[in-house]
């Protein structure tokens, strides 16, 4: 039940795994419990763990991780658009125990969004769900970058921040 969206131009072919029509069995929707029969598309990606259990760290690890993060985000955005989705919810890939730096992830997502400018045939709402973004990136830069793309910055309590873009 999947296809692979191939990305080129990184010295190797990179892909993301795409599953469409996956039923959501448990979890919470935007306003509460998920309705029975709710189906989503899910994109599977992987990158280098720049920190955490990885042997690499620092500049060399970031140089390897950057194109992987860019490919993961670009592949996800293109897969969502290709499937005719109107909203995509993203996470900060590898920012937890894997130690990928928030600034690198944020820059990679911005790069991927820039690559889709003019490519999409319909607006795509992009939601980024992240923790501790105000601390690591600063509220001001987050607000400016989000507003520049026509979005809003929402704080849902504690250290949880969601940046959304309405197309």
User: Could you give phi then psi for residue 27, rounded to 5 degrees?
Assistant: 130, -170
What pLDDT was estimated at residue 76?
A: 93
Handedness of CA 104, 138, 145, 86 (dihedral sign): positive
Handedness of CA 36, 130, 74, 61 (dihedral sign): negative
Each residue's pLDDT, cut to its tens digit, for the chain (167 residues) gives: 334 444 445 455 677 889 999 988 766 655 567 778 888 898 888 777 666 555 555 777 777 788 888 989 999 999 999 999 999 988 888 877 777 888 888 999 999 999 998 888 888 888 888 877 878 888 888 888 888 888 877 776 655 555 555 44
CB 120 within 8 A of CB 81: yes
> What is the pTM (predicted TM-score) of this model?
0.79
What is the C-alpha to C-alpha distance for residues 102 and 93, in angstroms, rounded to an integer?
9
């Amino acid at each position: 039940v999947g296809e692979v969206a191939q990305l080129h131009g990184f010295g190797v072919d990179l892909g993301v795994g795409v599953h469409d029509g996956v039923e959501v069995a448990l979890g919470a929707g935007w306003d509460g419990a998920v309705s029975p029969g709710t189906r989503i598309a899910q994109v599977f990606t992987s990158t280098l763990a720049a920190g955490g259990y990885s042997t690499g760290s620092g500049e060399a690890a970031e140089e390897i991780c950057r194109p992987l993060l860019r490919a993961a985000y670009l592949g996800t955005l293109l897969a969502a658009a290709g499937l005719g989705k109107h909203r995509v919810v993203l996470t900060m890939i590898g920012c937890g125990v894997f130690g990928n730096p928030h600034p690198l992830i944020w820059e990679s997502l911005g790069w991927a969004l820039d690559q889709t400018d003019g490519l999409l045939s319909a607006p795509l709402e992009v939601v980024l769900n992240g923790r501790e973004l105000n601390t690591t990136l600063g509220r001001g830069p987050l607000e400016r970058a989000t507003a520049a793309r026509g979005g809003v910055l929402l704080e849902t309590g504690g250290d949880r921040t969601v940046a959304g873009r309405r197309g």
